[in-house]
Structure 1
Amino acid sequence: MKKSKKKYIKYFPILGCISTGLIYTAIGVIAMLSLLRLKEGGASKNSLLAYVQDLTGGKIIIWAILLGMLCYIVWRIYESFHDPYHYGKGWKGLARRTGIGLSSLADAFIAYSALIVLLGSANYSEHGTPEQKREMTANMLDYGWGKWLVVGLGVLLTITAAVQLFYGITRGYRERLDIVRFSRRKKATIFFLGFTGYVARGVILGIIGFFFIKSGILSDPGYVVNTDKAFNFIGDHIGKVPFAIVAFGIICYGLFMFALGITYDLDNDPSDPNFSPRKS
């Protein structure tokens, strides 16, 4: 990538990481407050955006989040096609690049929600009810092929969840971090945030994907859940401790995204001592 091009595009992932960090840190905190019975629900992006909209200057914040998410989606698509991290054109490289593209699906949902709030096209609840998603699913189920579209969306979300888990466990994000000069303790902290965050995000996306599949198979939009109801599922059927662990993990994901935005390495530059070209 040429230096002039770098100068222009380097802000895309930075803005995206900061926007994503804000969203997920807030969702994790709200989930923790719900667990402690200090708040009634609201641990979803739609509920969070509905809450922010009512604040002074809330629309400006939402516009900033929307801009950041759009920048990040553009960057992720650019990564998939341009391959700045040298994954290659072998099956492993193509699989990783496809995973990068799929990971932007969750970011697209955030951007869509922000846009809908700004346009006033939806009345999101601040208490976490997934009525908008269920209404959307019901509309799709009205068509003969809609059932399979809902199932397909669920499968896509489930695959994205698996990619997130794999990404966190294998530290697939490390080539994006310019932390070669960081102390061992700082590196360990960032890796801990990345591992915990990606695993927690994968768990939540996996639950949402599962219920989309169930909703499609049974042709019942009532099974569709959002992040808030996914947390409720964990608390009601698995336990409060797993709920707290996943909520903590979502906060870690938000904090990791802040760290990633600050240290983002655009192309794993060969001049960087941390450079390691990939072969597939």
Structure 2
Amino acid sequence: MNITNMTQHLPSPQPAWVVRFARVGLTAKGVIYCLVGALAFMAAFELGGGNQEAGKQDVFQLILRQPYGQALLALVALGMACYMAWRLIQAVKDTDHKGSDAKGLGTRIGYAFSGLVYGFFAFYAARLVIGSGSSSNQGEDSRQTLARELLAQPFGQWLAGAVALGLLWMGIYQFYRAFSGKYKKKIKETEIKPEVKGMLIRAGKAGYVARGVVWLVIGYMFLKAALEANSNEAGGSQRAFQFLENSSYGSYLLGIVALGLICYGVFMFVRAKYEVIQTQ
């Protein structure tokens, strides 16, 4: 028996800092989604004065207004930066072993895109902490900016339409993850207490369904912007919530989606504690 050959197949220790980045990032993401869901629910039923805005950037403003708000928001910004770093590591190092075929590259590009999005949120939150961000520069949603830039290019409507289809696909994929059970694939379910495991797993399913609804609405608005060559038709989560609220039975529909987003936030806490984090 060759001991040298055996040791070559033993797993090397996982870089602890990558695992910490992942868990801190998932926790921060959970906090953001719980607050977004809570604000959306309040907006749906006109609680708290009925003036609640429920986009992620509005959540940062809310945190900033709390006692010790700058310190709290700095922690959230750090968490978002950790999440960005983890996603980029997944994309570049292929720690989840997705491979380099078309499907694997698509997944890894999705990781990178997710990391960059949360990197933007981390940057925005950091700007608020140091005082260089303000409500005066929020007139245009980031997706409106993207739509405007795309529409200004040659074949701009086609480019914007392609992005819209990508957003719609993201919505459909959230439903697929929810109903296929893929959302819980990496969760160490045996470590969750039996009396709460079922509730937490169901919360994850509800969360991915709610997230799918929001992505589909965002994709629909972006597609409308492409078809009408009007970037003002595009929008992010805040505009999506307004769209839902203005539909038939809108308050109830938005309320259900809001509760689902809170469930998604709770499931991020479950992932932070029980997910198997691959680092190599």
Per the shorter chain, which TM-score range?
0.7 to 0.9
Paired AA for residue 181 in structure 1: E
For residues 268 and 6 of structure 1, the distance between their equivalents in structure 2, rounded to whole angstroms, comes to: 7
Paired AA for residue 19 in structure 1: A
Match of 2:242 in 1: 232
* 1:197 maps to 2:198: no
* 1:60 maps to 2:71: yes
Residues 158 and 229 (structure 1), Cα distance of their counterparts in 2 relative to 1, 3 Å cut: same
Residues 183 and 132 (structure 1), Cα distance of their counterparts in 2 relative to 1, 3 Å cut: closer
Moved over 6 A (4+): none
Cα deviation for residue 113 of structure 1 reads 3.3
Work out which of the residue numbers 135, 139, 142 in structure 2 matches 1:133.
Answer: 142
Match of 1:117 in 2: 128
Residues 163 and 268 (structure 1), Cα distance of their counterparts in 2 relative to 1, 3 Å cut: farther
| Amino-acid identity (%) | 27
Contact 2:25 2:82 (C-alpha < 8 Å) held by counterparts: yes
Work out which of the residue numbers 6, 25, 28 in structure 1 matches 2:15.
Answer: 6
For residues 195 and 26 of structure 1, the distance between their equivalents in structure 2, rounded to whole angstroms, comes to: 19
For residues 142 and 121 of structure 1, the distance between their equivalents in structure 2, rounded to whole angstroms, comes to: 29
Paired AA for residue 66 in structure 1: A
Contact 2:36 2:56 (C-alpha < 8 Å) held by counterparts: yes
For residues 131 and 141 of structure 2, the distance between their equivalents in structure 1, rounded to whole angstroms, comes to: 13
Cα deviation for residue 32 of structure 1 reads 1.1
For residues 159 and 103 of structure 2, the distance between their equivalents in structure 1, rounded to whole angstroms, comes to: 28
Q: What per-residue deviation string (whole Å, max 9, x for no partner) do you get for residues 218-246 of structure 1?
A: 23232122322211211211423322211
Residue aligned with 1:43, SS: coil
Contact 2:144 2:235 (C-alpha < 8 Å) held by counterparts: no
Contact 2:15 2:279 (C-alpha < 8 Å) held by counterparts: no
Match of 1:275 in 2: none
Match of 1:217 in 2: 227
For residues 266 and 30 of structure 2, the distance between their equivalents in structure 1, rounded to whole angstroms, comes to: 6
Unaligned runs of 5+ in 1: 270-280
Work out which of the residue numbers 218, 234, 238 in structure 2 matches 1:208.
Answer: 218
* Stretch deviating more after TM superposition (141-150 or 77-86): 141-150
* Stretch deviating more after TM superposition (80-89 or 44-53): 80-89
Match of 1:107 in 2: 118
Work out which of the residue numbers 256, 259, 263 in structure 2 matches 1:245.
Answer: 256
Give TM-score, length-normalised by structure 1: 0.79
For residues 260 and 147 of structure 2, the distance between their equivalents in structure 1, rounded to whole angstroms, comes to: 32
For residues 82 and 142 of structure 1, the distance between their equivalents in structure 2, rounded to whole angstroms, comes to: 34
Contact 2:168 2:215 (C-alpha < 8 Å) held by counterparts: yes
Paired AA for residue 89 in structure 2: Y
Q: What per-residue deviation string (whole Å, max 9, x for no partner) do you get for residues 137-177 of structure 1?
A: 57626833465554444333333323322222222232331
For residues 68 and 167 of structure 2, the distance between their equivalents in structure 1, rounded to whole angstroms, comes to: 33
* Stretch deviating more after TM superposition (68-77 or 51-60): 51-60
Paired AA for residue 213 in structure 1: L
Work out which of the residue numbers 162, 187, 201 in structure 2 matches 1:177.
Answer: 187
Residues 174 and 100 (structure 1), Cα distance of their counterparts in 2 relative to 1, 3 Å cut: farther
